[in-house]
Amino acid sequence: MPTYEYHCEKCQKNFDVFQSMKDEAFSICPENLCRESEWGKGKVKRLLGTGAGLIFKGSGFYITDYRSAGYKEAAKKDAAGGSESKPAESKPAEKPAAKPAAAKPPAE
């Protein structure tokens, strides 16, 4: 079950509710979650959440554990091809030849 975030228009505060996706969204602030000293019955609006990302906790989880077979094959080819080829020899960059300055016409 997901956690939904709501915004109360009366007290201008947000609160989270753990509810089923099948449950209907709240239209008024629930009494047990109201942040005001007296239950205000404020109108609430469900906010759009960012969603939950997949989080692996603990040791032994690596990003490479779930790579596709095609990715793994391409990585092996890159690794094998990179070690066989010789590195390119670097040559010092040549400076371009200086161009002669254009002659200015005489002033009249």
CB atoms within 10 A of CB 91: 6
In a domain, 92, yes or no: no
pLDDT attached to residue 104:
66
Flag whether 104 is in a domain: no
Given a cut of 70, is residue 102 above it in pLDDT?
no
Rounded average pLDDT over 42-62: 72
Q: Is 71 domain-assigned? A: no
Structural contact between residues 15 and 5, judged by C-beta atoms closer than 8 angstroms: yes
Q: Is residue 100 part of a domain?
A: no
| 74 vs 108, higher pLDDT | 74
**Percent of the residues in the chain that have a pLDDT greater than 90, as a whole number:** 2
pLDDT band at 103 (very low <50, low <70, confident <90, very high): low
User: Residue 49 carries which side chain, given as an amino acid letter?
Assistant: G
CA distance 89 to 87: 6
Please, what is the end-to-end C-alpha distance for the chain in angstroms? 89
Domain coverage including residue 33: 3-46
Residue 83 belongs to a domain: no
From 32-36, 64-68, 71-75, the region with the lowest mean pLDDT: 64-68
Q: Which two tokens stand for residue 40?
A: 């205000």
**Is the confidence at residue 70, as pLDDT, over 80?**
yes
Is 82 a domain residue?
no
Domain count, the chain: 1
103 class by beta-carbon count within 10 Å (0-12 exposed, 13-18 middle, 19+ buried): exposed
- Find out whether 7 and 14 touch, Cβ atoms under 8 Å: yes
Interval 20-42: pLDDT, tens: 888 888 888 888 878 777 887 88
